[in-house]
Structure 1
Amino acid sequence: MRFNWNYLKLFLLIVCITGLYSFSDYRSNQKKINGISLEFVSENNLFLSKDVVNKLLIQNYGSLKNVPKEDIVLNTIEKVIETNDMVKNAQVYLTINGELKSKIAQRQPIGRIGGLTQFYLDEDGKKMPLSRNYSARVPIITGKITGKSLEDVYVILQFVNDDDFLRKNIIGIHIDDEEKYQLRFRVENFVVNLGDVNDLEEKFSNFKAFYAKAMKDQTLDNYKIVSLEFDNQVVCTKI
């Protein structure tokens, strides 16, 4: 029987490739971390500094520099960074040259709860602690703070943030005892009774139409209350 040398050559080639890959993988794992790079990916990175993140890593791992790559568990490092209350999420990876990189997204507040216990409401509707580094310019929420009213406030804040006019002008939301909502504006002296959170698009559309006409007529200073509680109406109380 004639021996097929091609099979032997193929077998030896596979053995060589596997050996080279194993050796390369071993050498790669033996390499050590030669540096750490932190990057904040959010537009507004005001609540957390790189020094704070580095301190957090040092507290948990000591110095990561010169640690063998095989000893690094990336998922664990991500979870450690995400323990900081200002971090939304973190992605950690290793580069070919042995640099440990982390991309960090900070949480973004959209409202601030006033009263004895103060905190932010973030873009996901979750409670977020105040920062020692920076005070965000977001609407202040006052009045009857409950789980239900915070859910409603979050709905209002989402709508406000998506509208350039409302975002620039609304500085406060007050919750009365019946869990109805009152808006305060940056410049105007009147307050806006919003009522509940139903039909927000229609209510704000009506309000902006009223505002544009009253500004044109120079009558904005004549009102102390503007109510949007009634169907498809803007009811005003004069001073």
Structure 2
Amino acid sequence: MKNKYRILKIAITVIILGFLLSFSLKKFSGQKIVDNKISVKMNEKTPVYFIDEKDIREIVKKENPSGKVGDLNIPALEKKINDLPAVDSANVYLNLNGKLNLDIKQRVPVFRLNKDGRDFYVDEKGIEFPISKTYSHPCMLVTGNVKKDEYQKLAELVEKIDKDDFSKKYFIGISKDNNNDYNLLTSEGNYKVEIGDLDHIDFKVKGFKTFVEKYLVYQDPQKYSMVSVKYQNQIVTTLNPYYKENDSILKAGNKELAKVPAPTPVRKTAEPKLKAAPKKETKKPATTSSKPKESTKPKVVTKPKETKKTEKKPTAAKPKTKAKVKIE
């Protein structure tokens, strides 16, 4: 009998607990999620404003028109917020008191890329997301045909520039030219710093820093159009042709370059002389070696000695060549 009473007590207790639980759940699901019960937290280190609390609250209302806790689909709401381009991650959950919590982390742009006629942001993970119509985040501007596999290295370069006081002062933009070389745009002067690829950035920036501190601070920044540090252990500078003080230097350089091709016409004129020489030689033997002229000479000189000389040396070429030289 005692066992039957125990079983009966347990059954009654379970029924009562189940009734209370169902009643509490019904009451809980019937609660409305009002504005003061929605908590939106932005967890990014750098403050960005691509989305705000107002936008998130509107999404919650659209996903749950009735406003009741029981009608709220938390996984669907979380996915809806995560699908926003400017959102990196979102976590949605309810407290026992019916308070809805939304912890959101927005994407922080590392640089803004202008590629193929369109602008967009790229975060530290190398993910693209569009520009907002209501908010513009201050970051490095990059132009050129940058490939997606270069986003992360480019983001690392921008972060290094932002952390270094010297680089942050000098470099205001990055461009990629048609030769696939990267150039750092400077805030002082018309010159740009050519770095080539994105490897050994620390070494290249250090080389440019040394060049500035040891030499460029004593010069007018307008003097150069480019400073190249892409080559190992050397810095190559290009003069600005529109800088007045460079006119004399460039003119002198052009004069020296103009002198360089001068030997080429001399060589060309020397060649026709060599070609003309054999023509003269061919004509002269025709007059000197011809026998009719020799036959005319005996009319003037009738001595037998000269006839003997011609008979003794019919094959010798030396007297003929000497006669040729004398004629010339």
TM-score (norm 2): 0.59
SS at match of 1:208: helix
Q: Which runs of 4+ in 1 moved over 4 A?
A: 14-30, 148-152
Match of 2:195 in 1: 194
Please show how residues 120-139 of structure 1 align to structure 2 within 5 Å.
Answer: 120-139=121-140
Partners of 1:91 and 1:104 within 8 A in 2? yes
Q: Quote the offset at 1:112 in angstroms.
A: 1.6
Partners of 1:29 and 1:70 within 8 A in 2? yes
Match of 1:40 in 2: 42
Cα distance between partner residues in 2 of 1:231 and 1:135: 38
**C-alpha distance after superposition, 1:163-185 (max 9, x if no partner):** 34434542221112221101102
**C-alpha distance after superposition, 1:61-112 (max 9, x if no partner):** 24363x0x34433332121112211111112222343221212221111222
Please show how residues 121-160 of structure 1 align to structure 2 within 5 Å.
Answer: 121-150=122-151, 152-160=153-161
> How well do the aligned residues superpose, as a CA RMSD in angstroms?
3.4
Higher mean Cα deviation, 128-137 or 22-31? 22-31
**Whose relative contact order is higher, 1 or 2, with alpha carbons under 8 Å and at least 6 apart?**
1
Partners of 1:140 and 1:172 within 8 A in 2? yes
Larger Rg: 2
Kindly provide the amino acid, as one letter, of the partner of residue 103 in structure 1. D
SS at match of 1:124: coil
Match of 1:57 in 2: 60
Cα distance between partner residues in 2 of 1:17 and 1:205: 77
Q: Quote the offset at 1:45 in angstroms.
A: 2.3
Cα distance between partner residues in 2 of 1:148 and 1:162: 23
Cα distance between partner residues in 2 of 1:54 and 1:187: 46
Cα distance between partner residues in 2 of 1:141 and 1:101: 37
Q: Quote the offset at 1:131 in angstroms.
A: 0.9
Cα distance between partner residues in 2 of 1:64 and 1:200: 56
Kindly provide the amino acid, as one letter, of the partner of residue 55 in structure 1. E
Please show how residues 1-239 of structure 1 align to structure 2 within 5 Å.
Answer: 28-35=28-35, 36-42=38-44, 43-58=46-61, 60-63=62-65, 65=67, 67=68, 69-114=69-114, 115-150=116-151, 152-214=153-215, 217-219=217-219, 221=221, 222-239=223-240
Kindly provide the amino acid, as one letter, of the partner of residue 129 in structure 1. P
SS at match of 1:118: strand
Greater percentage in strand? 1
Partners of 1:214 and 1:220 within 8 A in 2? no
Q: Quote the offset at 1:133 in angstroms.
A: 0.9
TM-score (norm 1): 0.77
Kindly provide the amino acid, as one letter, of the partner of residue 183 in structure 2. Q
Change in Cα spacing, 1:18 to 1:148, as seen in structure 2 (3 Å) is same
Partners of 1:33 and 1:64 within 8 A in 2? no
Higher mean Cα deviation, 190-199 or 165-174? 165-174
Cα distance between partner residues in 1 of 2:211 and 2:15: 79
Partners of 1:47 and 1:133 within 8 A in 2? yes
Identity %: 29
- Structure 1 unaligned segments of length 5 or more: list them: none
Partners of 2:112 and 2:142 within 8 A in 1? yes
Kindly provide the amino acid, as one letter, of the partner of residue 233 in structure 2. N
Q: Quote the offset at 1:195 in angstroms.
A: 0.7
Cα distance between partner residues in 1 of 2:74 and 2:100: 9
Change in Cα spacing, 1:197 to 1:15, as seen in structure 2 (3 Å) is same
Cα distance between partner residues in 2 of 1:229 and 1:203: 7
